[in-house]
Each structure stands twice: as C-alpha cells, then as structure tokens.
Amino acid sequence: MKNYRLPLSKSIPFCNEKFYELLSEAKSLGFEAIDFDIAGAWSTPDIEDEYFLHLEEGMAAVIESGLPVNCIHIPFGDRWNPCLHDEDARRAVVEKFRAIIARTAPLKPLGYIVHGSFEPNFDDEREAKIAQLVKSMREMADATDAYLCIEILPRTCLMNTAAEAKRIIEEIGIDNVRVCVDVNHFLQEKSEDGVLALGNLIVTTHISDHDYENERHWMPGKGKINWNALIGAFEKIGYKGVFNYELGAPLADIKENYKILFDAYNASKD
C-alpha cells in the first residue's frame, strides 16, 4: 500500500525575538514550508504595533530564505474581532484585515488564517455574531485571490465544531473562504471525526496535541489525539496540504516527531 505523507511545515512567530533564528533553522533542517505567524503579540497591542513597524524586514527575510509561505496568520483578539455587534467597529476590523492582506501580498501565501471570534460568546448572542462574521468574510474575500481560512477554535468561540464551521462556510458562500483545522481545538468531538466531517473544506492545518478538555498545544503523543486515526482521516478526505505544527518546541524535535507519526501511520496500514 502506498505511503501517505504531507509536507512538513511550522508556524514561525514574527513577534518573537528568535524569529530570524527560527527561520534560518527551519530552512537548514529541511522544513518544506512555513506559516508566517504575525499574531503572536495579540494580547499586547503596543508590542504588536512595534513589531508591525518592522514587518517588511521580516517579509524580506522570509523571501530570502526561499521557504514557501503556506499561510499568514492574521492577529486576533479585541482589535481584530470580525464578529463585533457594532457596525462601525466591525467595518473598521474588516479594513484592518484588508490592509494587512495588501501589505503581506508580496509573500504570495496560499492563504490567510482568520479567527472568526474572540471570547466569550454567550448562547443568546451566538446567532447574531455568526451573522456578523459571515458579513465580514464576504466583505474581505475580494481582498485577495488567496484562501481566507477561518480557524477551528475551542470553548465558546465561533467555529468550535465541524458542524458549525461547515454551516458558516456554506453561509458565506464564497469559493476562497475555507477552513484551517486546528486539531487541538476540537473539544466537542474527536479530531479525526471533525476532519472527516469537514472534508474538502480544509485547506490547511495547525498540528499539536491536547486532552479534549482544553487547547494545550502539546507535542503530538503527549495528549489524547489518536494520531493514526487522525492522519488516516486526512488521507481519506484526500487532503494534500501541509502538516503545520503550531506549538513551542525545538524544531529538531518537531521534525523527529513528524517522522515518528508518519512512520507509525504507514506501518499500521501494512
């Protein structure tokens, strides 16, 4: 039986003093792509603004590295929340999204990763917030020919189940709006079941492990995800995108973990 393998990728946080070092190391270790993650300072606006003054320097380093850019992770939080009730505030967020998409266009990413909400989101406001998210995604979709990938999120966030994600994507109804499946954000269903339910709506991944109690961003194997079942789900739906790790660990350890996971999965098929 033919082996299944996905390109090895890693989210590299730009808002991190080790960004340039990590970028160089990913190249030397043979990573096949990266996500350019510009969301790392979302909780400290002043620091985020300072890093963004130097965004073009970071982009130049990415281009010079020769590493393909899979996706760009747009910031999230109060300042980047596309489901705000207030229309003026929501439209201002859409314009921020459109501006950062235009600014980072030289990287020619496959897609942009978007958080569809912040927290908390109460049951009695959920439908109204979904409507606002749908409106925002429709208003920003023509800002790029790349994919806009709304991320599967945990807890009370919008898109916290495969069923809700599928419904939202269908309501948006635009071909370049799809899903980033963060496998450690599935708390109400098994990660492999979520992947099977979403199918070809998945454009990219965030890979890490958890305990199905909360997001953890652990190294695969530490938590409760069944990795043979999950990789099998990706193969079953015909997914051919990156296997993009989003966790804090040495890159050499991530590369070793990647080999262990795919060796084990392919051996299980014999």
pLDDT in tens, 238-253: 999 999 999 999 999 9
Structure-model confidence comparison of residues 42 and 49, the more confident one: 49
pLDDT category, 41, cuts 50, 70, 90? Answer: confident
CB 218 within 8 A of CB 187: no
In this structure, what DSSP letter does residue 105 have? Answer: G
Q: Average pLDDT for residues 112-130, to the nearest whole number?
A: 97
CB 110 within 8 A of CB 71: yes
What does the block give as tokens for 223?
């938590």
pLDDT confidence of residue 42:
81
pLDDT category, 70, cuts 50, 70, 90? Answer: very high
In this structure, what DSSP letter does residue 219 have? Answer: P
Q: Average pLDDT for residues 66-91, to the nearest whole number?
A: 97
Q: Which homologous superfamily does the CATH classification assign to the domain defined by 8-268? A: Divalent-metal-dependent TIM barrel enzymes (3.20.20.150)
β-bridge partners, 182:
206
What does the block give as tokens for 125?
């406001």
pLDDT confidence of residue 31:
98
Q: How far is it, in rounded angstroms, from Cα 184 to Cα 161? A: 12
State how far the alpha carbon of 36 is from the alpha carbons of 27, 33, 199, 210, 256, in Å: 14, 10, 25, 23, 22
CB 224 within 8 A of CB 210: yes
Q: Look at residue 163 and tell me whether its pLDDT is greater than 90.
A: yes
Q: Average pLDDT for residues 207-236, to the nearest whole number?
A: 98
Query: Helix-strand-coil percent breakdown of the chain, rounded to 5?
Result: 45, 15, 40
Q: Average pLDDT for residues 211-223, to the nearest whole number?
A: 98
β-bridge partners, 81:
none
Count of CB atoms within 10 A of residue 40's CB? 19
Q: Look at residue 166 and tell me whether its pLDDT is greater than 80.
A: yes
CB 185 within 8 A of CB 212: no
Q: Do the bridges between strand 202-206 and strand 177-182 make them parallel or antiparallel, or are there none, so unpaired?
A: parallel
Q: Look at residue 202 and tell me whether its pLDDT is greater than 80.
A: yes
| pLDDT tens track for 168-201 | 999 999 999 999 999 999 999 999 999 999 999 9
Quick one: what percent of the chain has pLDDT higher than 90? 96
Q: What is the pTM of this model?
A: 0.97
Mean pLDDT of all residues belonging to the chain: 97
